[in-house]
Structure 1
Amino acid sequence: MHEDFERCVRAVRSRDARFDGWFITAVLTTGIYCRPSYPAQPKEASMRFYPSAAAAQQAGFRACKRCRPDASPGSPEWNVRTDLVARAMRLIADGVIDREGVPGLASRLGYSVRQIERQLVAELGAGPIALARAQRAQTARMLIESSTLPMSDLAFAAGFGSIRTFNDTVREVFGVTPTALRTRVGRDEQPVPAGTLQLRLPFRAPLCPDNLFGHLAATAVPGVEEWRDGAYRRTVRLPHGPGIVSLRPRPDHVSCRLTLTDFRDLSVAISRCRWLLDLDADPVAVDELLGEDPALAPLVAASPGRRVPRTVDGAEFAVRTVLGQQVSTAAARTHAARLVNAHGRPIDDPGGGLTHLFPDPGALAELDPETLAMPQTRRVTLTTVARALAEGDLDLSVGGDWSDARERLAALPGFGPWSVESIAMRALGDPDAFLATDLGVRAAAAALDLPRSGAALTRRAEAWRPWRAYAVQYLWATGDHPINRFPG
């Protein structure tokens, strides 16, 4: 979009917050870059547009201190595409470069380092190192403003290799020293325990929290997830140790409390929370298209901004999908709780009732199938998918290839269209995944006078592309089920 100068100018003139994260506005006369929605109205001749903060930084601009473009929602483009650039951006957001370097990113994507650098520079104006550096700068700012960590500890927690690089980057990107940046912040949040951070996760309005938090709360696995005091809480497995996240919807942001074993996991934890809640979606684009259908228009008008509830761990969701095959939500939670108690890693949660991490694929691949209280065929399905995940034959990470994952899942015993599309929708994040055979979808179709058979409904749903996963959320919402209600 940044290459369409006139369209970008119109977005800036209208102060349209919908475009925050889509592109960056740089101003030649001030040397700063801003969100498109920033109230200041620079002259058209002084505007320059960039596809990313990293590109603006490389061009010599620094971040605006008032509108904080680094804290805007991410571009929704990376979550609706499955090409190399989009997969690379999702992996960079998940911290792969900090952990494995550019060679690790290339290995995960199956391309050479040179190919990845060339394509990222061509589309984003910055290579993988610059993009990761911009993310480290954003993480550093969050830590500076929301923690009391000493700057020396904070620098390494944000992913910098030295204090000098940390200081130079903060001054270059934000125009002030780290100490000055901390001094400028007025903390209005309640005090939090040591090892805990309180953050705000922005999103594009509107956001309907009903099905989003309702689904997560209604399907919560005891010990791993819970709804407590108006917040969804769960344990997360992070690169440097376990963590606990607490997410609470607010009118203009999601309040996020993170308890981390190691602050180096901050950017990864934030990325996974945003992914879980689908916070980088463009709800206006989704609702505009779905609202054109007479059957869906009343549903969209009644509750605009529905998101797709996702997962923080694709492998975990694949196992839970197997546990939920042909059983009720309550039964699926019971099966999952037994698995967690028997094979999950215990954790401490002084602030609630969380007790375990969900078992990793390696642990589940080694378990005795006879210990599972489920039909033999489902035991085989569970252990087979766990083995495929543990051995790396199946990639359900944020950088996974959607088509390849679908093919590999469909080749496993016990994985029919419902299971494959459920995983594609909630683990892989495909916005066009469609559960044509789901009972809730079919019941909604009947109530709305839509085709009832899977094949006929799939043909009818062609008009909803590329947002069929969101159409599923609107269809599910017609039923009287706890997943559709905000947990009071």
Structure 2
Amino acid sequence: MADFRQSGDPAGGTIDLVTTLTRTEPLWRDTERCYRAVASRDSRFDGQFVMAVRTTGIYCRPSCPAITPKPDNVRFYPTSAAAQSGGYRACRRCLPDAVPGSPEWNVRADLAARAMRLIADGTVEREGVPGLASRLGYSERQLGRVLTAELGAGPLALARAHRAHSARLLIEMSDMPLADVAFAAGFASIRQFNDTVREVFATTPSGLRESASRRRLPAEAAPSSGTRLVLRLPYRPPFDANGLLTFFGDRAVPGVEEVTETGYARTLRLPHGAATVRLTPSDGHVRCELHLVDVRDLGSAVARVRRLFDLDADPHAVAGVLAADPALAPLVAATPGIRVPGAVDGAELVLRAMLGQQVSVAAARTAAGRLTAELGEPLAVPSGSLTTLFPTAEAVAEHGADVLRGPRRRIESIQRAAEAMARHEVTVHVGRDAGELRAELLELPGIGPWTADYVLTRVLGVPDLLLTGDLVLRKGAAALGLPDDPAGLAERAQAWRPWRSYAGMYLWRAA
């Protein structure tokens, strides 16, 4: 669902981040607003744009601790890729790429935002620009023109920046041989890897590793195969970790997920193989321990985990809108930094949502556990209680009738949805247009508005959807003195735009 924010400007006045994220003009084009953010060194702007300094040839995050350059010497870009295409290299002091991603890609639903989500998931490395364009439903030429106009760089440059970021993580956080890092990060050759690192970071790969040796968290061989990596995933505080752990704990599928008082773990089905991840929220970051069968999946794993925990959200922007409603204000104050749980696999989320229709959370969990026990794929190397991958759509389509329990029509609906996804008649991924995906889901038997909107909220991260048909959510609304009928609640919720998904999380809590 989305984010919140607002920030102060020591020079006087306020930089309103609610307006920033809902304005029609991109923030990076408003040089006065951007410069005020840089002068304030406000970390809440990190990830929304980068500042390039003409006199030094570097680009920085807005909160860089270096002396603020003169206005005439700076230029603002929407992405690191755009700055790199402009001939600038990353600042080695503030590490502008080691920040939460822009919340803009969650708020926006246009082509550029959908492309950015797929690029972060590694689509260009796996399928090339033609594959990216095909997933988005555009020609390569159209896609390149739109991305260059919106983001200051084309798909190849954006993917190159993503590869550079993955390479930096592996160089600094692991002891992998540099040649292996090159291909794991998606580079076609050692020379391309060396040239990119030198151009982006103004040093060699070995120099980057040497300078990071003090803060490196060693990579180790997994129990029998693969690679173990420990990363720090930053977020914008405040961060309601307890709310996420409670949500996932109530729904955890045995063998697939594990939730404790301090963290969450699960198995992952990634493009090149299986993986497990253990997430432990901490101050300013989430500790992420990954076991990857194939290290080429690093970028994909990180992108999916960030979406799962809504780490790119901007809590001050959300709070700035929701706290203006007297009914929600006490909840916003009591639980700052609420997040909307995401998903790591679209097909899995669709099937689990259908299993949860018109039954309790506990019953849905039992049904998902039974399905996993019978049709899930065992991990070659289990990690504690994590033993199994959630069943594929293909497995459920072929064998679901032998495992599923309940009314025959419901079982047939789940099988039909699984068949549609297995045959790619319906594809559920972060690059989909929300309206088109919703229409396709509603055409499937057994899927109504609640299920379709729930999928959009969790898979696509749509920040402005309120499930007014949800009985528990309406119960929470009634407890707060809000209208509890769908029409009345929808009308009241107009004031919560563009963060109605986050408002829904508060209403669920109130129930």
Measured against the shorter chain, the TM-score band is over 0.9
SS where residue 70 of structure 1 aligns? coil
Give the Cα separation in 1 of the matches to 2:382 and 2:346: 27
Deviation (angstroms), 1:349: 4.7
Alignment check: 8 A CA contact 1:243 1:259 kept:
yes
Alignment check: 8 A CA contact 2:43 2:62 kept:
yes
**1:347 matched to 2:374:** no
The 10-residue stretch of structure 1 (254-263 or 408-417) with the greater mean CA deviation from structure 2: 408-417
Deviation (angstroms), 1:421: 1.6
**1:289 matched to 2:315:** no
C-alpha distance after superposition, 1:232-265 (max 9, x if no partner): 1101111110000111111100110110011110
Pick from 333, 338, 356 the counterpart of residue 324 of structure 1: 356
Q: Which residue of 1 aligns with 2:57?
A: 31
Give the Cα separation in 2 of the matches to 1:255 and 1:298: 30
Deviation (angstroms), 1:192: 5.4
Give the Cα separation in 2 of the matches to 1:208 and 1:239: 30
Give the Cα separation in 2 of the matches to 1:137 and 1:192: 19
Pick from 211, 217, 225 the counterpart of residue 243 of structure 2: 211
Give the Cα separation in 2 of the matches to 1:143 and 1:281: 25
SS where residue 45 of structure 1 aligns? helix
SS where residue 144 of structure 1 aligns? helix
C-alpha distance after superposition, 1:64-123 (max 9, x if no partner): 101100111111111122211111111111111000000001111111100000000001
SS where residue 455 of structure 1 aligns? helix
Q: Which residue of 2 aligns with 1:126?
A: 153
Pick from 463, 473, 486 the counterpart of residue 431 of structure 1: 463
SS where residue 346 of structure 1 aligns? strand
Q: Which residue of 1 aligns with 2:335?
A: 303
SS where residue 101 of structure 1 aligns? helix
Corresponding letter in the other structure for 1:363: A
**1:270 matched to 2:302:** yes
**1:61 matched to 2:80:** no
The 10-residue stretch of structure 1 (437-446 or 306-315) with the greater mean CA deviation from structure 2: 437-446
Deviation (angstroms), 1:190: 6.3
Question: For this pair of structures, how many residues does the alignment match?
Answer: 479
Q: Which residue of 1 aligns with 2:501?
A: 469
CA change 1:381–1:165 in 2 (3 A) is same
Give the Cα separation in 2 of the matches to 1:376 and 1:105: 39
Q: Which residue of 2 aligns with 1:222?
A: 254
Give the Cα separation in 1 of the matches to 2:201 and 2:219: 26
Deviation (angstroms), 1:420: 1.6
TM-score (structure 1 length as normaliser): 0.96
Deviation (angstroms), 1:193: 3.4
User: Aligned Cα RMSD in Å?
Assistant: 1.4
Pick from 468, 474, 478 the counterpart of residue 510 of structure 2: 478
Pick from 18, 33, 42 the counterpart of residue 7 of structure 1: 33
Deviation (angstroms), 1:440: 2.0
Alignment check: 8 A CA contact 1:24 1:49 kept:
yes
Corresponding letter in the other structure for 1:282: D
Deviation (angstroms), 1:187: 4.3
C-alpha distance after superposition, 1:113-134 (max 9, x if no partner): 0000000000111000000000
**1:113 matched to 2:140:** yes
**1:71 matched to 2:98:** yes
Deviation (angstroms), 1:348: 4.1
The 10-residue stretch of structure 1 (462-471 or 408-417) with the greater mean CA deviation from structure 2: 408-417
Give the Cα separation in 2 of the matches to 1:230 and 1:51: 35
**1:82 matched to 2:114:** no
Give the Cα separation in 1 of the matches to 2:232 and 2:171: 14
Identity of counterpart residues, as a percentage?
A: 57
CA change 1:351–1:188 in 2 (3 A) is farther
Pick from 156, 171, 179 the counterpart of residue 183 of structure 2: 156
Alignment check: 8 A CA contact 2:172 2:216 kept:
no
